[in-house]
Amino acid sequence: MQPRTQRQKEILDYIKRFIERHGYDPSYAQIARHFGLNSKATIAKHVEALERHGLLARHRGDGAFNLNVQGGESVSENICDIPLLGRIAAGAPIDVIENRDTISVPRFLLGRVRPQVIYALRVVGDSMIDEHICDGDIALIENRTEAANGEIVVALLESSRVTLKRLFRFGSEIELRPANSQLAPFRVPAREVEVQGIFRGLLRPAT
């Protein structure tokens, strides 16, 4: 089934893109800001209409709604297995630890990236908490060695320690910037940093 109005279609497309990029659903306030609206109630009405049409499912938890985009694919087409390679520090860098487990991931979290180039790492620490990347989360990483300024990357330092940070280049140095107001960024010589992947999404294990 398709949305009944153009605005419903725009909201549904925005929710899909947001989830693909961030790995979690947008709030009503975020949707309203995106469309230049002051009223969350207006967004709620559109979401209710999409739910009636079977295009969204809402699940209440911890006082907030979670929005799940519905689709016509089978369960097997919606799920893919991703290698879980170990841990990544969202804090001080930690030694590389490689496991060879796998984890099942909803396909929509990967966006347009092929599952074959994605791997997963378990987050340790809270230096990226302002990006909603928390201790114990599973970070979904695209296996790439090049990153644009400002991207969240898996950075290998001195060939032995890994960390998850935003990357910025300053001449012959690279700044690795946390997303936590209590922590300061740090710079290292570019020759000591190897990009091993780009952050693409997040899984939060059930507690």
* Residues acting as catalytic residues: 127, 165
64 vs 40: CA distance, rounded Å: 13
165 vs 81: CA distance, rounded Å: 25
2 vs 55: CA distance, rounded Å: 8
Q: Which helix (H) or strand (E) holds 49?
A: helix 40-52
Query: Two tokens at 103?
Result: 């984890």
SS3 of residue 16 by DSSP:
helix
Q: Are 151 and 138 in contact (CB under 8 A)?
A: no
Q: Are 69 and 19 in contact (CB under 8 A)?
A: yes
The owner of tokens 């929710």 is 15
47 vs 9: CA distance, rounded Å: 11
Q: Are 193 and 157 in contact (CB under 8 A)?
A: yes
